Amino acid sequence: MREVSVGEHLDQYHITELIARSGMASILKAIDTETGRTVALKVPYPQFESDVVFYERFRREEAIGQRLDHPNIIKVLTPRRKSRMYIAMEYVEGTSLRALLRDKRPFAPERALKYARQVCGALVYMHGQGVVHRDLKPENLLVTDADQIKIMDFGIALDESARRLTWAGLSTTIGTPDYMAPEQISGRRGDARTDIYSLGMILYEMLTANLPYEGPNVYAVMKAKASEDPQPPSRWVPDIDPRLEEIVLHAIERAPRNRYASAREMLADLEDPARVQVSGRASQLQPPASWKRLRSVVMTGVFFASLAAILALLVYLARRYPAAPARTQGAYRGTVR
């Protein structure tokens, strides 16, 4: 099986443009010759089509997409016939949320809330269908020209109504570390609260143009997420509304039991932040271990600098005010009558 090229036909679809390439598939723009509709095709590279694990994941991604029908989720279509492995989807004009975040400037709170509400509303629907996305990230959120969010890529989604995949090659920890929940990093399957965590991380980034964990490499970030508290959004945006900070920190609690219990519960706060009670989560966070080490180094430096200053002062005083020579015992005797 070879790659499909622009200008060729794939079943009922005429390929017109290469949109993008990922690590495992090409995304192609095409025209449905039966309906005249513009669609997007996700076609895996030939070397993956014979991989049993990849095939099962791809088939499941298509089946989940065909089941879901929500305005904030990319709709997966059902071709009349298929001669090879691919997924046909609705074509939507827009750009990824990642592209919008590249400016490295915080979104206005209302804009961030608008996007977060749409994603969270889709999660309420999706979780009600027994589907957990497990890979929410800005790259998988398309913002249309009408400012509507569309969730894409259900490649590692969990379908609770389907049998569990047990191949060793299908790791439960695959995903994007910056947005993965701590339980995913430790190898667990995750549940609806895993998506809540990822949405909290995305909202954090929209509000601050930063992420709550830093490190020199991906492994340091993963370790920090599994064992340390996040940096509060107010570190980056000091005047952030405390209620928005509360929503974010509630969503990204390290232990799943401490997060929002459901997407519906989080959506209620996103739709009406004024109802949120500030619990003081931000003030209870412990600084990162790297900050503790830096603080220790700084305090040690301050101690030795202070000690050096005191010694220098003593030396100066000793030179400025030398002690008077002491009188001998004989001199005293000489003055006695």
Closest by CA to 255, choosing from 225, 292, 220, is 225
Are the CB atoms for 62 and 41 separated by under 8 Å? no
Q: Which among 136, 264, 287 has a CA at the least distance from the CA of 203?
A: 136
CB 254 within 8 Å of CB 286: no
Contact 256, 193 (CB under 8 A): yes
Distance CA 56, CA 59 (A): 5
Q: Tell me the one-letter amino acid at 214.
A: E
Task: Please tell me which residue in 11, 32, 135, 195 is annotated as part of the active site.
Answer: 135
* CB-count burial class (<10 Å; 0-12, 13-18, 19+) for 24: middle
Q: Which two tokens stand for residue 135?
A: 């890979």
Question: What order do you get walking across the sheet with 141-144 strand by strand?
Answer: 94-96, 141-144, 149-151
Residues in the chain: 337
- Helices within 25-151 (DSSP H only): 52-67, 97-101, 109-128
> Residue 40's beta-bridge partner residues?
29, 89
Task: Record the tokens describing residue 287, joined without a space.
Answer: 């600084």
Mark whether 135 is an active-site residue.
Answer: yes
Nearest to 96 by CA among 27, 35, 5, 160: 27
Return the active site residues.
Answer: 135
